[in-house]
Chain A
């Protein structure tokens, strides 16, 4: 005796199966839309900017003439800013993560800090610019210096670094900690010599990704008044400077057609920089991250 009448199943399911297939194709096409947008974006900018990408572009300062405009000041400026953002945001971020994961007792204060971090992550970057303008540029009188911009950017990416460091620390298995305590280590010894070393690949991966966000971020720099026409390289942390996204913003705004291509060339440099950082992050993740 047949339990399943195949013909009737096909008859009843047929149209529904077709609908399923149609929607599967639709969903796939919608997913392709994102890939297409990304491809188009890269292709357009590459075609537009490649003509202006030469060695001179790296060695020239900003200029009123598109042929002479270069990204030197902006590239070096971005690196200087990173020299502030990287240590400040990593120390603050990892320190906070250690406190929240290892020391904080479950309770209202802890919940409040967590809630606060998730809300801070949702504050628009332009508002961080207003904070930087009031606190760092004016109240602490740092002016529109590397230090002021670096501090502002550090606070901007702080929530991202805290969350990714927390995840990295949480992924360290409890056995390792117990073993360390069992050997007579104190809590801080356990954290510094056992937990952090095994969490460091994860912390670095998240940290580099957050830093690459800080490099591409424009709005806070605009608000704290970072200039664009800079004809010198910064000498110390209190120097004026300009950064790559600022420079690109300025070029893109100019009415001359040729500056659009200069902006595209600047974007290629910026994207190459980000690509490099992301590759390092992926490399660290694949090479050093242990799974327990």
Chain B
């Protein structure tokens, strides 16, 4: 009997030892984290890839075009035969115009939707509206571009006769519609995370729902709302197909909303669809424009990050 007990003890320990000693299994356990780390670092490599690509090719561009001509030049005439000019300001002006209009459209409508969804709407209403906003956010930008060109522009021309076929107004409005769901859903998230006890406190003091929303919930959710707007602005700056289709390709340094414009993104598309050969100044110019664009959006994204981190109210 005693020897049997002993035998059983040994066999369990043996089994554990055997299991532990399996080399293949150990190797898998050790190598999996390494493999996964390599996979995870690809996203970091992508960022480095983007930054280095842009920097190298932009550097090449500045071998040919003086830096300050690029930064401060008010004329962008890359295709001119005798004297091409590469002043980025007209492209920035185009991007600025579209972004401004988009913000003017998207912020009031987006915030109003967010307030409605978070403070007023019944659960059923929310269940209908939120998916619609998701669909709106999922519509490809090429579809919005087509809509701007073939519907919004002709519609606006009936009210503003001097509006050209390509202009800043129509793509601006449509970009606004595109970023609206982003502002609405991110702001709604921020407002919904304000605890109900605060709302109840205000209501008990005799505030109306509007007063609760404007004087209590909005200030409490302000960091999230601001961050959502900044992110949406970043999206509007980088938007490409809507402005390529409906904005035109005339870079100009002014604030005219009714005439043809060109944004940074639309210039990159124009060169890409044309036949500028590899290694020409025009070829390198798309990288310098892309780099400028990248810096703008990076700045916006970092700003959004700082806002939501620094000014968040904790409950």
Contact = CB atoms under 8 A, between A and B. Distances in A.
Partners in one complex: yes
A274 interface: yes
Given A96-B42, A155-B46, A253-B245, A24 B120 contact: yes
Interface string A15-55: 01101100110111011011101101100110010000000
B132 A96 contact: no
A129 interface: yes
B272 A218 contact: no
Nearest to A221: B272
Residue from the set A13, A26, A252, A253 with the largest chain B CB neighbour count within 10 Å:
A252
Interface in B300-315: 300-302, 305
Interface string B194-217: 000000000000101111000000
Nearest to B116: A27
Contacts of A225: 272
B140 A270 contact: yes
A159 B141 CA distance: 19
Interface in B111-165: 112-113, 115-117, 120-121, 129, 132-133, 135-136, 138-147, 149-151
Given A188-B28, A249-B142, A218 B240 contact: yes
Nearest to B207: A16
Contact of A123 (B50, B144, B147, B245): B50
A216 to B, nearest CB: 3
B184 interface: yes
A216 B269 CA distance: 16
Contact of A26 (B112, B140, B234, B237): B112
Interface in B165-224: 177, 180-181, 184, 206, 208-211
B143 A41 contact: yes
A195 interface: no
A70 B237 CA distance: 33
A100 interface: yes
A35 B146 contact: no
Interface string A138-172: 10000000000000000100110010000000000
A124 B150 contact: no
Residue from the set A26, A37, A123, A217 with the largest chain B CB neighbour count within 10 Å:
A37
Contact of A124 (B112, B149, B293): B293
B260 interface: no
A160 B113 CA distance: 25
A44 B148 CA distance: 11
Interface range, B side = 35 or more
Contact of B36 (A99, A115, A155): A99
A57 interface: no
B208 A126 contact: no
A198 interface: no
A197 interface: no
B142 A24 contact: no
A222 B144 CA distance: 17
Contacts of B88: none
A98 B40 CA distance: 9
A219 interface: yes
Contact of B240 (A124, A135, A271): A124
Given A13-B206, A270-B140, A158 B43 contact: yes
B3 interface: no
B132 A38 contact: yes
Contacts of A162: 43
Contacts of A222: 240, 244, 269, 272-273
Interface stretch (A61-69, A79-87, A174-182, A259-267): A259-267
A16 B35 CA distance: 63
Contacts of B237: 124
Given A96-B39, A113-B40, A212-B138, A124 B238 contact: yes
A116 interface: yes
12 contacts: A23-B210, A91-B39, A92-B43, A113-B43, A116-B44, A122-B234, A127-B290, A129-B268, A129-B272, A130-B268, A215-B140, A252-B149
Interface of B: 19, 25, 28-29, 32-33, 35-37, 39-44, 46-47, 49-50, 53-54, 57, 108-109, 112-113, 115-117, 120-121, 129, 132-133, 135-136, 138-147, 149-151, 177, 180-181, 184, 206, 208-211, 231, 234-235, 237-241, 244-245, 265, 268-269, 272-273, 278, 286-287, 290, 293-294, 297-298, 300-302, 305
Interface of A: 13, 16-17, 19-20, 23-24, 26-28, 30-31, 33-35, 37-38, 40-41, 44-45, 48, 91-92, 95-96, 98-100, 103-104, 112-113, 115-120, 122-131, 134-135, 138, 155, 158-159, 162, 184, 186-188, 209, 212-213, 215-219, 222-225, 245, 248-249, 252-253, 260, 263-264, 267, 270-271, 274, 278
